[in-house]
Amino acid sequence: MIKIKKKKISSKLAIFLISAPIFTGLLIAIYHYGIENSYWRNISGCSDQLSNIDINTENLLIGLSAIKPNCSDPVKILGLSISGYNILSNILMISIIFVGWKKFRDKFY
């Protein structure tokens, strides 16, 4: 039988590898939330393209690729948009990771 030598990963590296994608998601959610609430403009030119279109099935199918989403009118649940909930959940996950790491870091060394 072949034995595979296992390398130990440091707890700091593990915390970084877990929290980096969550933190990236937090930054993207903050960016999107800012666009929804007109704190800044979207760099890709998100706009409301449905206002000038005669809405029927044929026209929608023809112009479907030309329609850009309206970022300034998000769906809100209990007063918060999905990007707002995304910000809260990312902050919660990062907090749980760091509180757990501080509490149990002695067990990893």
Residue in the block written with tokens 């440091």 = 10
Q: Quick check: 15 pLDDT over 80?
A: yes
Rounded-to-integer distance, Cα 96 and Cα 77, Å? 24
User: Does the pLDDT at position 83 exceed 80?
Assistant: yes
When pLDDT is cut at 50, 70 and 90, the band that residue 49 belongs to is: low
Mean pLDDT score of the chain: 78
Give residue 91's pLDDT band: very low, low, confident or very high (50, 70, 90): very high
Task: Tell me the C-alpha distance between 72 and 35, whole Å.
Answer: 7
pTM above 0.75, yes or no: no
- Could you state, in order of their start, the residue ranges of all structural domains in the chain? 41-73, 76-109
Nearest alpha-carbon partner for 68 in 46, 94, 37, 53: 46
pLDDT of residue 47: 52
Q: What is the mean pLDDT of residues 74-98?
A: 90
81 phi/psi in degrees, rounded to 5? -80, 170
Is residue 76 within 8 A of residue 33, CB to CB? The reply is no
Q: What pLDDT is stored for residue 58 in this prediction?
A: 72
